[in-house]
Structure 1
Amino acid sequence: MPLLQVNNLEVAFATPDATVRAVNGVSFDLEEGSTLGIVGESGSGKSQSVLAMMGLLAGNGTASGSALYQGQDLLRMPAQALNKIRGNRLSMIFQDPMTSLNPYLTIERQMTEVLQLHKNLTRRAARKRAIEMLEAVRIPEAAHRIDQYPHELSGGMRQRVMIAMALLCEPQVLFADEPTTALDVTVQAQILQLLRNLQHDFGTAIVLITHDLGVVAGLCEKVMVMYGGRVMEHCDADDLFARPSHPYTIGLLRALPRLDRSDAPLVGIPGNPPNMARPPSGCPFQERCIDAADHCGDGPPPLIPFGEKPDWLRACYRPVYDMREYTGRAGDIRETSNA
Structure 2
Amino acid sequence: MTPTEAPLLQVEDLAVRFRVPEGEVAAVNGLDFRVARGQTFGIVGESGSGKSQSMLAIMGLLAANGRATGRALFQGQDLLALDAAALNRLRGNRIAMIFQDTMTSLNPYLTVERQMTEVLELHKGLTRRSARQLAIETLESVSIPDAARRITMYPHEFSGGMRQRIMIAMALLCQPDLLIADEPTTALDVTVQAQTVQLLRELQRTHGTAIVLITHDLGVVAGLCDDVMVMYGGRVMEQAGAEALFDQPSHPYTVGLLGAVPRLGQDDDLPLAAIPGSPPNMLRPPAGCPFGPRCALAADRCATQPPALVVEGARRRACHESTAAVTALRAARA
For 1:314, give the aligned amino acid: R
Question: Which residue in 2 is equivalent to 1:177?
Answer: 182
2:324 corresponds to 1:321: yes
In structure 2, the CA distance between the partners of 1:265 and 1:17, relative to structure 1 (3 Å rule), is: closer
Using the TM superposition, name which of 187-196 and 98-107 deviates more: 187-196
How far apart in 1 are the matches of 2:193 and 2:153?
A: 23
Question: Which residue in 2 is equivalent to 1:234?
Answer: 239
How far apart in 1 are the matches of 2:85 and 2:260?
A: 45
The structural deviation recorded for 1:107 is 0.8
Instruction: Encode CA deviations 1:213-255: one digit per residue, 9 max, x unaligned.
Output: 0110111110000000000001111110000010000000000
2:27 corresponds to 1:22: yes
After TM superposition, the score normalised by the length of structure 2 is 0.94
For 1:131, give the aligned amino acid: I
For 1:102, give the aligned amino acid: N
Please state whether the residue corresponding to 2:10 is helix, strand or coil: strand
Instruction: Encode CA deviations 1:89-120: one digit per residue, 9 max, x unaligned.
Output: 00000000111111111111111111111111
For 2:226, give the aligned amino acid: E
In structure 2, the CA distance between the partners of 1:269 and 1:187, relative to structure 1 (3 Å rule), is: same
How far apart in 2 are the matches of 1:244 and 1:316?
A: 12
Pairing of 1:1-339 with structure 2 (within 5 A): 1-263=6-268, 264-306=270-312, 309=313, 311-323=314-326, 324-327=328-331
CA contact (8 A) 1:92 1:175 kept: yes
The structural deviation recorded for 1:190 is 2.5
Please, what is the CA RMSD of the aligned residues? 1.7
For 1:326, give the aligned amino acid: R
Taking only the aligned residue pairs, the percentage that are identical comes to 67
CA contact (8 A) 2:99 2:184 kept: yes
How far apart in 1 are the matches of 2:332 and 2:176?
A: 36
Please state whether the residue corresponding to 1:251 is helix, strand or coil: helix
Please state whether the residue corresponding to 2:33 is helix, strand or coil: strand
Please state whether the residue corresponding to 1:233 is helix, strand or coil: strand
The size of the alignment, in residue pairs, is 327
Using the TM superposition, name which of 24-33 and 316-325 deviates more: 316-325
The structural deviation recorded for 1:300 is 1.4
For 1:21, give the aligned amino acid: A
How far apart in 2 are the matches of 1:31 and 1:84?
A: 22
Using the TM superposition, name which of 32-41 and 121-130 deviates more: 121-130
How far apart in 1 are the matches of 2:277 and 2:188?
A: 29
How far apart in 1 are the matches of 2:120 and 2:184?
A: 21
For 1:322, give the aligned amino acid: A
How far apart in 1 are the matches of 2:147 and 2:330?
A: 47
CA contact (8 A) 2:161 2:192 kept: no
The structural deviation recorded for 1:325 is 3.1
How far apart in 2 are the matches of 1:54 and 1:328?
A: 42
The structural deviation recorded for 1:88 is 0.4
Instruction: Encode CA deviations 1:266-324: one digit per residue, 9 max, x unaligned.
Output: 10111111111111111101111112111111221110012xx1x31001111122244
Q: Which runs of 5+ in 2 are unaligned?
A: 1-5
CA contact (8 A) 1:137 1:190 kept: no
